[in-house]
């Protein structure tokens, strides 16, 4: 008797297999948790992979202090519900220098996220970090391995990637070197949404449309999430019915005007939309190969 597995069942089984390989082979794994929809799926898969044990690793949030308030709320709740330890890291230099997205541009991402991540991995000595990156997100990600080897300096060498055959992952490394592991490499944005829908996974309410205070700036609709948002002359927050397709630091994340209040609505809107997911992120707007350069430097 044959039971044809659906594409989501196969993707789920693959992700679980990858997570178990890491736990079996790494000494000190951690799951990076950014509170977005991909993180929500990753956390859900981790619960499945090790059930009835709780996932045998902590969650790590490399925080910038500039995330949406709704994200912080869900972060703490999700970790507690999963019975997992939640580690939160702030780059002390960024704290001290008051690095923020309004005054420091690209430095903001570099200090809080890229440098912060490296510091956090070193601090706790993690040798394998799960990330929720997907190959469909961006061209240079399409070639990233599932087990992505990083030097002791956290660099990614695209030309020295290990061949990855069948479902055999080589997790061996020397002291100080580490792995970034991407269990949902083969998922697409639609798969993520559909899985959230099917499995009833809790996500940040910002993915759903609601009236929110906004300003329009440099072609992006930005949400005024707290009183740190410096309004320019003539700017007054306007209530708009908006939602977010991707979540990051609130001053860097563009909203879309929308009436999608349910998951099917959101999926429908995503499928009918004419722009790709990352378009709302300021980080990818530079030269065509910007993501590849950021990754070589250690950005997730």
Partner 1 sequence: MNDQVYKTDALIAEDIDAYLTAHQNKSLLRFITCGSVDDGKSTLIGRLLYDSKMIFEDQLAQLESDSKRMGTQGQDIDFALLVDGLAAEREQGITIDVAYRFFATEKRKFIVADTPGHEQYTRNMVTGASTAELAVILIDARKGILTQTRRHSYLTNLLGIKNIVLAVNKMDLVGYDQATFDQIVADYTAFANSIGVTDFTAIPISGFKGDNITALSDNTKWYTGPTLMQHLENVELDQASDQSGAFRMPVQWVNRPNLDFRGFSGKIAAGSIRPNDEVRILPSGKTSHVDRIVTFDGDLEMGVAGQSITLTLKDEVDCSRGQIIVAAKDPLEVADQFEATVIWMDEADLIPGRSYYLKIGAQTVSATVAQPKYQINVNTLEHTAVKTLDLNAIGVATITTDRAIPFATYADNRELGGFILVDKITNATVGAGLINFALRRAQNIHWQATDIDRAHHANLKNQKPAVLWMTGLSGSGKSTIANAVEKKLARMNRHTFLLDGDNVRHGLNKDLGFTDADRIENIRRVGEVAKLMTDAGLIVITAFISPFRSERDMVRNMMQPGEFVEVFVDTPLSVAEERDVKGLYAKARAGDLKNFTGIDSPYEAPETPEIRIDTTAMTIEQAADQIIEFLLGA
130-159 residues near partner 1, rule: CB under 8 A: 135-136, 139-140, 142-143, 158-159
Smallest separation (angstroms) from partner 1 to the CB of 107: 23
Q: Please give the residues from 256 up to 295 whose contact with partner 1 meets the rule CB under 8 A.
A: 264-265, 267-268, 271-276, 279, 288-289, 292
Smallest separation (angstroms) from partner 1 to the CB of 182: 11
Separate counts of helices (H) and strands (E) for the chain: 10, 10
Q: Please give the residues from 196 up to 255 whose contact with partner 1 meets the rule CB under 8 A.
A: 197-198
Q: Please give the residues from 12 up to 71 whose contact with partner 1 meets the rule CB under 8 A.
A: 12-14, 16-17, 20-21, 23-24, 47-54
Strands (DSSP E) along 156-273, which ranges? 178-181, 210-217, 220-223, 238-243, 256-257
- Can you tell me the distance from the alpha carbon of 54 to that of 81, in angstroms, rounded to the nearest whole number? 10
170 binds partner 1, rule: CB under 8 A: yes
Smallest separation (angstroms) from partner 1 to the CB of 16: 4
The closest alpha carbon to 132, from 47, 63, 41, 266, belongs to: 41
Segment holding 102, helix H or strand E:
helix 101-104
Contact criterion met (CB below 8 Å) for 36 and 166: no
Stretch that binds partner 1, among 87-95, 116-124, 187-195, 248-256 (CB under 8 A): 187-195
What are the φ/ψ torsions at residue 80 (nearest 5 degrees)?
-65, -45
Stretch that binds partner 1, among 31-39, 108-116, 166-174, 221-229 (CB under 8 A): 166-174
Stretch that binds partner 1, among 74-82, 93-101, 113-121, 171-179 (CB under 8 A): 171-179
The closest alpha carbon to 246, from 140, 148, 77, 132, belongs to: 132
- Can you tell me the distance from the alpha carbon of 49 to that of 138, in angstroms, rounded to the nearest whole number? 27
78 binds partner 1, rule: CB under 8 A: no
- Report the residue number, 5 or 95, with the smaller CB distance to partner 1: 5
Smallest separation (angstroms) from partner 1 to the CB of 211: 23
Token duo for residue 78: 């999700």
- Report the residue number, 65 or 170, with the smaller CB distance to partner 1: 170
């Amino acid at each position: 008797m044959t039971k044809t597995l659906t594409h989501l069942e196969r993707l789920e089984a693959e992700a679980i297999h990858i997570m178990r390989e890491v736990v079996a082979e790494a000494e000190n794994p951690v799951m990076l948790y950014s509170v977005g929809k991909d993180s929500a799926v990753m956390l859900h898969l981790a619960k499945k992979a090790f059930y009835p044990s709780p996932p045998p690793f902590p969650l790590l949030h490399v925080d910038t202090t500039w995330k949406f308030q709704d994200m912080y709320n869900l972060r703490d709740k999700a970790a507690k519900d999963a019975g997992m330890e939640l580690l939160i890291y702030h780059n002390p230099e960024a704290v001290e220098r008051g690095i923020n997205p309004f005054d420091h541009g690209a430095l903001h991402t570099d200090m809080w996220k890229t440098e912060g991540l490296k510091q956090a991995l070193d601090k706790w000595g993690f040798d394998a970090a799960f990330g929720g990156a997907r190959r469909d997100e961006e061209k240079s990600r399409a070639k990233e391995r599932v087990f992505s080897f990083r030097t002791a300096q956290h660099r990614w060498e695209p030309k020295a990637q290990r061949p990855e055959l069948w479902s055999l992952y080589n997790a061996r490394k020397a002291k100080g070197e580490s792995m970034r592991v991407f269990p949902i490499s083969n998922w697409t944005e639609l798969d993520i949404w559909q899985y959230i829908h099917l499995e009833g996974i809790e996500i940040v309410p910002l993915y759903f449309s609601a009236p929110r205070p906004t300003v329009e700036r440099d072609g992006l609709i930005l949400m005024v999430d707290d009183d740190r948002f410096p309004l320019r002359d003539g700017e007054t927050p306007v209530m708009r019915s908006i939602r977010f397709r991707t979540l990051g630091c609130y001053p860097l994340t563009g909203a879309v005007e929308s009436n999608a209040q349910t998951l099917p609505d959101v999926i429908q809107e995503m499928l009918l939309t004419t722009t790709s997911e990352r378009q709302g992120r300021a980080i990818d707007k530079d030269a065509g190969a910007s993501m590849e350069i950021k990754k070589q430097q250690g950005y997730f």
